[in-house]
Structure 1
Amino acid sequence: MSGGPPSMSAPVCLIENTDRGLQAVDSSLKLLRDIQQPVVVVAVVGLYRTGKSYLMNRLAGQQSGFALGSTIESKTKGIWMWCVPHPSKPGHTLVLLDTEGLGDVDKGDSKNDAWIFCLGVLLSSTLVYNSRGTIDNQALEKLHYVTELTDQIRVKSAGGGRDEDGEDISEDCEFVRFFPSFLWAVRDFTLERKIDGRDVSDDEYLDFALQLKKGLSPKIVTYNLPRQCIRNFFPTRKCFTFPFPTSADKMKCLDSMPESQLEPDFRQVADRFCTYVFSESRTKTVQGGHQVTGSRLSHLVKIYLDTISSGDVPCLENAVVAMAEIENQSAMTEGLRQYELGMQQLKNQFPTDLDTLSSEHHRLSTMATKEFLKRSFKDEGGKYMAQLSEKVTHLYEQFISQNMQASETECRKLLLELHSGIAANIERGVYAKPGGYEVYCRERDTMVAKYRQHRKKGMKGEEMLDVFLQEKSAEANSILMADKNLTDAEKKNAEAREQAAVQEQRARAEEQRRQELQQALEDEKRGQEERVRRMEEKFAEEKRQQQEELQRALNSKLEEQRQMIEKGFKDKAEMMNQEIKQLRTEQTRVKESKPGFIEKVFLPIASIGRDILSTVLQYKGMCKMFGRKK
């Protein structure tokens, strides 16, 4: 499929961990930029040497690819990427990100680990946290990176704000709107999943491990903090407990071991894990519910890394604005390119009539608008859509002018060719005799009839005939005056008929201009209506995405509040009321929003189109008349 993932036989490094810090690999960004499909991004994070890469290989449908390693040394440095067609979502690309192991003693840089974890959160739609053994307090203490996210990520450029009642709104409560789903993969799990003697599921086991303790002592606050962050930040939580895949002595051959030699229980859990990720992982979105394509993901990677390298904190709002600017400019350029390419092909057929030119203009401008809207997002105020329409109109003006020049050249050449016989007869004196004027008129009428029958005259056919006949009026008058076979009265009558014919031809030329102008104005109106319709559809789609984003966040908060009440944390449940209220207020605002900017954008464009066409067609008076009728 066009715009789908490239054929990748193995993963590539997306973000290098160098002496100068984390840096994007340009060739890998290029791979992403070529993907115009929506992406589902699954990132795995966790302590080094815990088997993260194996899970990514399984998701890629391959036995090997991401480096597994068989020693205590961490094999994955930076963040590696593998893009494959999504196995169950047609038209989507699955982007797998295998991150550098956290806590590698060779690095000795906890800040580096924190940014790796942070990037995993920022770039993914599903975050897989991989650990070994059990989910106990020690395991959660090692997940301290989650408690640092509030210091490393900002939602809004100006920080938090206030709601309609003037209450402070913490940015922390908004993370759930934009953070990925959280999936905890517990490797080499050997315990029985029992709570109070009752068998429990993986998810119940995770929920039990994330239970909070009551109290406000420093020890309890420290205990609750990572648990509270996981519960507050991530919209959904899921757990898989994996038994040992094989015996310890065979672990080093895991990437080359046939699947049939793995433990059946391990294979079963791995299959369930992959099935869940494929079916439940959402398309990556950013603030506002906008879907992320591979191209947009490449911009996000670059924006976040540039921010981190500058010493600043990544801001979701700023990243979306910057990404929208890049993508909208690119979308406008691509839409304009498609329009110009199509019109250049038509140019090879110049001269052509305005109806053909206008129809192709309408078809291609609609295609350009469609291409723009497919790639663009968050084009607030219709800034880039307006620019595209203005540039298309300007190009259309140029093509009309070129078509008219070609028409003028073709018509003049044709008239000279058809008139060549008459000119030769004048040279030989064929008409310089009694009755010569009647012969001349007959041959001239035959020439005009042949000219009108010629199909490739273009837009200036009647106008050029009008000009030509006026140029030859002196020639006709000279032959008329020299015809001794006619009386003075007959000559006066013939001269009057000649003038009437000139006026009739002029009227025909003006009627052609009027019809062409009317057609052009109708096409401009039709094009504007088409653009407005598509912009309204785009607005409705983006509005729906925003509503889905808010509803997911609201559902997550309501579920968390319900659990807090069940566990007896009524004070925490009541504290969540403000967050829930804010989400519902935002839902109402989005629901009632209207695309008020569309008319302001497109009505001036229609006026520009009329002015350009009136200038090109050199018929301003008639254009003003039609403008009043509209």
Structure 2
Amino acid sequence: MASGSTMTAPICLVENHGEQLNVNPEALQILDKISQPVVVVGIVGLYRTGKSYLMNRLAGQNHGFVLGSTVRSETKGIWMWCVPHPSKLNHTLVLLDTEGLGTNPKIQNSNLPRECIKQFFPKRKCFIFDRPTSDRNLLFHLEKVPEDKLDSTFQEQSKKFCTYIFNHTKTKTLKEGIIVTGSRLRTLVVTYVDTINTGAVPCLENVVTTLAQRENSVAVQKAADHYSKQMVQRLTLPTDTLQELLDVHADCEREAIAVFMEHSFKDEKREFQKKLMDTVKERKKDFLLQNEDASFKYSQAQLKQLSEPLMKSISIGTFCVPGGYHLYLEAKEKVESDYNLVPRKGVKANEVLQQFLQNQVAVENSILQGDALLTYQEKALAAEWALKKAAEKEVELLSQKYKEQQQKLEAQERSFKENIAQLRDKLERERENFRMEQEKMLKHKLKIQEELLNEGFLKKSVKLHAEIQLLKKEIAANKEDKCSLGPWIFDVIGKMLDKEMPDPNVCGTAEQAKEEAAEKEVELLSQKYKEQQQKLEAQERSFKENIAQLRDKLERDRENLQREQEKMLKHKLKRHVLEEVAAAEVEQMTACVLL
């Protein structure tokens, strides 16, 4: 059994105290721990007819179920023995032996006549047993009789009986192919007993509905837990990108939906699938927050470590010298470069860097203004260049946020599509199972009708004929409706996703409000991104204009300097020529004097 424990002896499942039936809590706990499908074998009959002996043989034991008159009247009821099925892997064989329930009037009132036995047991097999032994004294203590003391024919008959039960009994299944596990059998038992105690006849449809409510709640929890467990195992926070987390989320959500589909049934309004979607959405949001927090803390720690030399240099005044601004820029750019090389900083890496750079604006401006090596014009250009770089960082950050919002919306759309796809597959399987059940039921009713006619029950045969015709119409309608399955699914899923056909008098649902808020946030980010781009372009135009004006001014200054230099050169040349002429005249005059 799935619980890992094996029952060594039967336990009373339903106790009969006078006219009141009570379910044994200990037996319910045993069933609740069995997650495997069960094969249920029950036996009814008079005292001392070999019921308990045969059940012991099915359990592979010579004793266990108490035989005949050894049962005290106050403990009579339904006894249960759960053992691993000898031939069906991963199945549990549930043996039920009745003792003394026939004295309960409520049970008598709910016992159906022979025709109903035919209706509920379409396949019947009869076994005839010889006496186990000719010794009447041994008949009262069969559990103590050695195998070799029993009649050989009886032994062979018992062996054939057990083999047939093991090979031909099927997994307990309810309408629409719902497989019954131990825990589901527990709910059925409690519901049936409560109904019988009220004096009513149990209605299978109501029982299945009650079972579905309980099982679907469990299925939601099991699927949500699977999602969380797999996310924890597969994620390493912080993830390098948001898309990395969303991809893991998509895989885990797909598996969670499959878990829910496997364990849920009769979720006709899709309220439990919607509950799972909401739960997964909230847990995904929590993982996103954890990822952002991990990224923020890790990025801050790395940046703090890398910026320590820069901060120390600032504190001791290293950059408060002529040319210090250039040295500061080199040190700051090295911090940025080293930071960008750090791997897997996560989704908050740019935001942390942006905060760091914004915190440096005042210090950077102070160093710039105090640098005596720079002219006024150069300082103005440097300040404008710093603003341009800051604007570029802001645009880059906004672009990342916009991209991440788009990725989240796309992930949400994929989630809806995955839910629709798996729901479609499940509905197709359920429809096919329902069709097979209907055809099986039709075949059975036709057989009963034939038997009733042969036995002369004409009125009952006519009544059954009407049921058969109705069932045939249902089968035909089911086949014809198959082509419209797709639109029907989308109608159901539309209601499930809220798009839930909201009340016209109500202005939307909370879920719609969240979706609209997300869309508005994306729209706002897009607008802000566009505005920042426009500002950046304006700053760039301004910067280019200032550069152009500075270039023109420098060009004019250069031309003026060139003209001044040429003028000075001409003046010097003229003076040089005059000096040479004067020297020549002096030399000539000297020569004349000498003559």
- Band the TM-score falls in, shorter-chain normalisation: 0.7 to 0.9
How many residue pairs end up in the alignment? 512
Q: Does 1:85 align with 2:84?
A: yes
TM superposition shift of 1:397:
1.5
TM superposition shift of 1:586:
2.3
Distance 1:449 1:20, change over 3 A: farther
Alignment of 1:510-589 (within 5 A): 510-564=398-452, 573-589=461-477
Is residue 57–residue 65 contact of structure 1 (8 Å, CA) maintained in 2? yes
Question: SS where residue 486 of structure 1 aligns?
Answer: coil
Alignment of 1:1-150 (within 5 A): 3=2, 6-19=5-18, 21-69=20-68, 77-101=76-100, 103=102, 109-111=103-105, 113-114=107-108, 145-147=111-113
Distance 1:71 1:31, change over 3 A: closer
TM superposition shift of 1:503:
2.3
| Corresponding position of 1:236 | 123
Distance 1:436 1:461, change over 3 A: same
Question: SS where residue 406 of structure 2 aligns?
Answer: helix
Distance 1:292 1:315, change over 3 A: same
Alignment of 1:500-511 (within 5 A): 500-511=388-399
| Corresponding position of 2:563 | none
Distance 1:349 1:329, change over 3 A: same
Question: In 1, Cα distance between the equivalents of 2:209 and 2:421?
Answer: 25
The one of 145, 153, 172 aligned to 1:265: 153
> In the TM superposition, what whole-angstrom CA distance separates every residue of 1:10-38 from its partner, at most 9, and x where no partner exists?
22221122357211111211211122222
Question: SS where residue 144 of structure 2 aligns?
Answer: coil
Alignment of 1:425-504 (within 5 A): 425-504=313-392
Distance 1:546 1:440, change over 3 A: same
TM superposition shift of 1:391:
1.5
Is residue 11–residue 80 contact of structure 1 (8 Å, CA) maintained in 2? yes
Question: SS where residue 79 of structure 1 aligns?
Answer: strand
Question: SS where residue 62 of structure 2 aligns?
Answer: coil
Higher relative contact order, chain-length normalized (CA < 8 Å, sep 6+):
1
Question: SS where residue 86 of structure 2 aligns?
Answer: coil
Is residue 37–residue 293 contact of structure 1 (8 Å, CA) maintained in 2? yes
| Corresponding position of 1:288 | 176
> In the TM superposition, what whole-angstrom CA distance separates every residue of 1:52-87 from its partner, at most 9, and x where no partner exists?
111111222222221124669779721111112222
Is the strand fraction higher in 1 or 2?
A: 1
Question: Which deviates more from structure 2 when the two are superposed, residues 444-453 or residues 278-287?
Answer: 278-287
Question: SS where residue 307 of structure 2 aligns?
Answer: helix
Is residue 67–residue 76 contact of structure 1 (8 Å, CA) maintained in 2? no
Question: Which deviates more from structure 2 when the two are superposed, residues 468-477 or residues 343-352?
Answer: 343-352
Q: Does 1:598 align with 2:490?
A: no
Question: In 2, Cα distance between the equivalents of 1:479 and 1:402?
Answer: 39
Question: In 1, Cα distance between the equivalents of 2:236 and 2:261?
Answer: 29
Distance 1:540 1:229, change over 3 A: same
TM superposition shift of 1:279:
2.3
| Corresponding position of 1:157 | none
Question: SS where residue 322 of structure 1 aligns?
Answer: helix
TM superposition shift of 1:309:
2.4
Question: In 2, Cα distance between the equivalents of 1:73 and 1:412?
Answer: 76
Alignment of 1:379-394 (within 5 A): 379-394=267-282
Is residue 57–residue 66 contact of structure 1 (8 Å, CA) maintained in 2? yes
> In the TM superposition, what whole-angstrom CA distance separates every residue of 1:334-392 from its partner, at most 9, and x where no partner exists?
22233334445678844764234323322332232222222211011211000111111
Question: In 1, Cα distance between the equivalents of 2:169 and 2:275?
Answer: 37
**Unaligned residue ranges in structure 1 (runs of 5+):** 104-108, 119-144, 148-225, 626-630
Distance 1:368 1:74, change over 3 A: same
Question: In 1, Cα distance between the equivalents of 2:512 and 2:473?
Answer: 42
Question: SS where residue 46 of structure 1 aligns?
Answer: coil
Question: SS where residue 40 of structure 2 aligns?
Answer: strand
TM superposition shift of 1:417:
2.7
| Corresponding position of 2:547 | none
Question: SS where residue 378 of structure 1 aligns?
Answer: coil
Relative to the length of structure 1, the TM-score reads 0.74
Alignment of 1:142-181 (within 5 A): 145-147=111-113
Identity %: 38
Structure showing greater radius of gyration is 2
Distance 1:500 1:265, change over 3 A: same
The one of 521, 524, 530 aligned to 1:621: 524
TM superposition shift of 1:461:
0.9
Is residue 362–residue 527 contact of structure 1 (8 Å, CA) maintained in 2? yes
Relative to the length of structure 2, the TM-score reads 0.78
Is residue 235–residue 245 contact of structure 2 (8 Å, CA) maintained in 1? no
Is residue 107–residue 196 contact of structure 2 (8 Å, CA) maintained in 1? no
Q: Does 1:305 align with 2:181?
A: no
Question: Which deviates more from structure 2 when the two are superposed, residues 406-415 or residues 379-388?
Answer: 406-415
Question: In 2, Cα distance between the equivalents of 1:6 and 1:587?
Answer: 44
